[in-house]
Structure 1
Amino acid sequence: LKAAFEQLNTDKEIVKNYLLSKGIPEANIIFNSVQTAEQRDNKYDNGNYIGSVFRGYSLTQSVKIESNDVKLIEEVAREITELLNKGVQFNSSPPRYYYTQLADLKIKMIAQATEDARLRAEKIAENSGGDLGNLLSAKMGVFQITGQNSDEEYSWGGVYNTSEKKKTASITMRLDYEVQ
């Protein structure tokens, strides 16, 4: 276990130095805690399970990079397998993309959606020979962020796509008005 932990620390330094050499600031490199798991081999006798035998431990550690420099992160993500040539056992995942000004976007979209709903209600009232009265209630539905031009399913709890760089945001508003 001690030797595995020492190897993991050596690999951690190789990974850190690699990321620094690619221009990732040290403050953006986040190493999570080491995960330790027992490795066991199952034993069978005539097809019947009779127990397991301890084989050793497996140690893993994940690293996360947080950055607003999307181009740099995409470049590093494409080249990260270079670490395999340095002897580091490394599994990588594609970048995830987050919209960083979500609170401002929601406020803007709520304003636009409620204005659009009011204009539609006015048109419906006008076309039916009435006038739009007072607002009786307003409810916000789900907020969805999907990949642009994707066929993602909308969900009652909302969707937040992080796999696509280009996104489409939508919000549902329900406004009930009096019609006079």
Structure 2
Amino acid sequence: MERNSFWSYAVLGIAIGLGTCIAGMSLSHALFEIRAAERSVSVRGLAEREVEADLAIWPLGFEIATNDLADLQRQIEAKRETIREFLAAAGFDASEISLSSPRIRDTQAEYYGREGGPKFRYVAQATVTLRSDKVQLVKTAMEKAGDLVGKGVVLTGENYGRATEFLFTALNDVKPAMIEEATKNARAAAEKFALDSGSKVGKIRYATQGLFSISDRDANSPERKNVRVVTTVEYYLKD
């Protein structure tokens, strides 16, 4: 009886051992299959385009100094009107021209209690802003801005933060094609990697669209813009 029990336990132990071994082999094979399926490569695709700005914002700033407030107001209005006439003659509509409140300083108050001081008590900084989609016309008008000097208006250039802006606002029109181009370039890079490693490119595992950036082509041509986007794509690799 004891002999039979011994052989029963022995057979059971062998069976359990074989089962564990087979299960381990199966699990190992399954893990290998999972790892093999997860082989991937992450690449980046770049797309760039050169475009023309479609909006120009030109602030025409000027400064006035006088000792009389009434004279200050009169000069502000006169110079504003001169600038408006200049822009109208250049081909711009009244709706494209806007005025901002002048910034007026009382230099006497600033120097109160101190000796000396500036010659003029009141100093005003005013701006007439042109906002137009006629970008090339704006460029032409800017080249002729010196004509205003002969009419008594001296522009303050880019002082006081009045820098001319050239903007590209039609980004949504070029986004789809640029994303497609960047994705194609990413796949081409993945295929090159796969070829070198003896693999093939499979489906996309993960993808992110980078931010679009818009920058001036160069310092001398702010109306020409470079649009750039980089996408990151991870592809499965297969044998």
Q: Is the CA contact 1:145–1:168 (under 8 Å) kept in the aligned structure 2?
A: yes
Task: After TM superposition, give the deviation of residue 52 of structure 1 in Å.
Answer: 9.1
**Is residue 87 of structure 2 the alignment partner of residue 19 of structure 1?**
yes
When normalised by structure 2's length, the TM-score is 0.58
- For the structure 1 residues 96 and 123, does the alpha-carbon distance in structure 2 shift closer, same or farther, using more than 3 Å as the test? same
**Residue in structure 1 matched with residue 23 of structure 2 by the alignment:** none
**Is residue 188 of structure 2 the alignment partner of residue 130 of structure 1?**
no
Q: Deviations over 1:92-151 (max 9, x none)?
A: 457532223112122321121012112221232233112223322212223233333x4x
- For the structure 1 residues 140 and 37, does the alpha-carbon distance in structure 2 shift closer, same or farther, using more than 3 Å as the test? farther
CA distance in 2, matches of 1:108, 1:2: 58
**AA paired with 2:124?**
L
- 3-state SS of paired residue (1:142): coil
Larger radius of gyration: 2
| Structure 1 consecutive aligned stretches of length 4 or more whose deviation exceeds 4 Å | 50-55
CA distance in 2, matches of 1:34, 1:163: 31
Identity within the alignment, %: 25
Q: Is the CA contact 1:144–1:169 (under 8 Å) kept in the aligned structure 2?
A: yes
CA distance in 1, matches of 2:104, 2:205: 58
**AA paired with 2:177?**
K
RMSD over equivalenced CA pairs, Å: 2.9
**Residue in structure 1 matched with residue 223 of structure 2 by the alignment:** 165
CA distance in 2, matches of 1:4, 1:123: 70
Task: After TM superposition, give the deviation of residue 174 of structure 1 in Å.
Answer: 0.8
Q: Is the CA contact 1:147–1:165 (under 8 Å) kept in the aligned structure 2?
A: yes
Q: Equivalent of 1:64, from 107, 129, 137?
A: 129
Structure with bigger helix share is: 2
Q: Deviations over 1:16-57 (max 9, x none)?
A: 1121122211111122222223433487xxxxxx79969633
CA distance in 1, matches of 2:176, 2:104: 44
